[in-house]
Amino acid sequence: MVDMQALQALWQARQYSGAERLLRQALAADSKDHEAWRWLGLTLLMLEGREGEAGEALRQAAPGLPRDASVPFNLGVALQRQGKVDEARLAYTRALGIDPGYEQARRALAGLGAPSGAAQPPAARQGEPGGPAVDPGMLQRLQPLPLPASFGRSRSHLLVRVLLFAAAFVVWGLLLGLVALLPDGHIRQAVMQRGPLPYVSVLLFAGVVVVAAFRYFGIVGETARVHDSKLLAALRDGPPALSHALAKCGEFLRETSPMIDRRLIRAVNCAVTARNRQELYVAAREVARHDEAASHSAYAVPKLLIWALPVSGFTGTLLGMSTAIGGFRQLAEAKNLQDFGGAVETPLYGLAVAFDTTLVALVLVATSMFLVAMVQRRERELLAAVDAEVAEAVLQRLELGQGEPRGWIDAALMVELWEGFNRIQQQLAEAVANSDRTRDG
């Protein structure tokens, strides 16, 4: 029985000679371990000049794995690399006979010059990955480009929230200061002399202003990065090969990548597994919808504040009307002109509170909705620009299914990219640890 954990570690380290020794030890103990023969064939394909031995190992695996289409496919790869075109064609045809939806086998067969209709599979089955040459469970079921779990996920840090909260109070103070500088008139009285609720409305408006401004400057920065993206330039100006696109995406893979780079990396991942351009367009559209949904959810806080503004005004209306009604009762009980003059102030003040708090809230609601609408429009323009660049650099330009069978080539590339990502994670962890030590010291 093969120690799959040890085998996986050797593959990740690209120690194929060690993997071969491990597999041959397992086969020495059990020569009928067909899974070990299959992995031995894959391992030998990764070693230069071992195609003949790889083919023999895969032939040993075939009787015990009659429904595994990757076995005849990889046998076809070994035969093709040896120049045995006719035998490779038969192997690819056998793989299609086991799995008619095996896209790599179909492409390999077409690349050998088979008639275009001789081995066309039926429509791709929904949800299937397309039959990779390497077992899907290899390398912890990584994507073609191994993305971190938090890649592209919007993260809200406590420090950012605290800073936004503090900024809202600063803006609130500035707005009240500006109102206080106005000459004595209706605007100043409506805000400064109508109880606490106008102050609450101004504070809510300040929160909307701060969040909208934070979002706006983030959009401006992302728009500038679209024009300065080195990954976009590399994909647009380089060869249209998937291997080149994967390698370039691996160079720019970061958890904090700008939006354009995140979208490009996801689109290239979709291109690796897509069976045709229609599937690629559908997959890329789903990625675009993910960004649109994230954009929509980012406005939950300002929309909640805008919703709270009329509530504040309506509350002021109720309190003001309640005060006015109580004042009218005192007015009715007045027995002389002097008592009447003193009692009339209370209902008049209540009515002023009722109408002025509502007026302040409605003006601030309209202004807030305008600000948020303008920021959302700018973000929609950004998303449209990103969609256009991705369509030009990836969806319309990359060549799908051309050249040699990609299975064994991509396997090595996956390992290399995974190693690079591990180095990135290690560097990030060391930077955080150094920062913690510096702060503690």
Q: Give the domain-ending residue among 106, 138, 170.
A: 138
Q: Identify the CATH number of the domain in which residue 13 sits.
A: 1.25.40.10
Domain count, the chain: 2
Claim to verify: residue 134 and residue 162 sit in the same structural domain:
no
In a domain, residue 74? The reply is yes
Residues 134 and 44 reside in one and the same domain: yes
Task: Point out the domain boundary residue: 138, 171, 186.
Answer: 138
What mean pLDDT comes out for the span 407-418?
Answer: 48
- The pair of three-digit structure tokens given for residue 4, joined into one six-digit string: 């799959």
Asked if the model's pLDDT at residue 196 lies above 90, the reply is no
Of 383, 201, 386, whose CA–CA distance to 298 is shortest?
383
pTM of the predicted model as reported, rounded to 2 decimal places: 0.56
Note whether 372 and 299 are same-domain residues: yes
Q: What is the mean pLDDT of the chain?
A: 77
Whether residues 134 and 87 share a domain: the answer is yes
On whether both 26 and 104 belong to a single domain, the answer is yes
Let me know if residue 386 belongs to a domain. yes
CA distances from 343 to 131, 331, 336, 352 (A): 87, 5, 11, 15
Q: Rounded distance, CA 199 to CA 185, Å? A: 17
* Sequential DSSP letters for 302-319: HHHHHHHHHHHHHHHHHH
Q: Which residue has the higher pLDDT, 2 or 203?
A: 203
- Considering the domain boundaries, does residue 194 fall inside one? yes
Min mean pLDDT across 29-43, 53-67, 185-199, 402-416 is at 402-416
Is the pLDDT at 405 greater than 80, yes or no? no
Percentage of the chain with pLDDT > 70?
76
Q: What is the reported pLDDT for 224?
A: 92
Domain's final residue, options 366, 384, 400: 400
Q: Which pLDDT belongs to residue 116?
A: 33
Position 438 in a domain: no
User: Same structural domain for residues 85 and 36?
Assistant: yes
219 and 364 housed in the same domain? yes
Closest by CA position to 103, among listed 441, 354, 410, 407: 407
- Is 429 part of a structural domain of the chain? no
Both 132 and 61 in one domain: the answer is yes
Give residues with Cβ within 8 angstroms of 233, minimum separation 6: none
Same domain, 369 and 226: yes
In the predicted structure, residue 403 carries a pLDDT above the cut 60: no
Residue 388's pLDDT band, with cuts at 50, 70 and 90, is confident
Does one domain contain both 122 and 173? Answer: no
Mean pLDDT of 141-154: 58
Question: Residue 243: is its pLDDT beyond 70?
Answer: yes
Whether residue 426 is contained in a domain is answered as no
Q: Measured between alpha carbons, how far is residue 152 from residues 21, 36, 73, 258, 264 in Å?
A: 40, 38, 35, 9, 11
Q: What angle do CA 216, 222, 223 make, to 5 degrees?
A: 90
Question: Which DSSP string corresponds to 17-81?
Answer: HHHHHHHHHHHHH-TT-HHHHHHHHHHHHTSTT-HHHHHHHHHHHGGG-TT-THHHHHHHHHHHH
In a domain, 427, yes or no: no
Is a pLDDT exceeding 80 seen at residue 180?
yes
Q: Are residues 305 and 183 in the same domain?
A: yes
Contacting residues for 160 by C-beta, under 8 A, at least 6 apart:
none
The predicted model gives 321-334 an average pLDDT of 68
Is 92 within 8 Å of 73 (Cβ atoms)? Answer: yes
Q: Is residue 416 part of a domain?
A: no
Task: Say whether both 314 and 228 belong to one domain.
Answer: yes
What is the band of 190 on the pLDDT scale with cuts at 50, 70, 90?
Answer: confident
The pLDDT of residue 219 is: 92
pLDDT attached to residue 134: 38
pLDDT at 278: 73
Reply yes or no on whether the pLDDT at 120 is more than 90: no
Average the pLDDT over 325-350 and give the result. Answer: 63
pLDDT tens digits along 75-116: 988 898 888 888 888 888 888 778 777 877 777 777 775 333
The conformation of residue 173, written as its DSSP 8-state character, comes to H
Q: What are phi and psi of 304, to 5 degrees?
A: -65, -40
What are the tokens at 141?
């079921």
Range of the domain at 57: 4-138
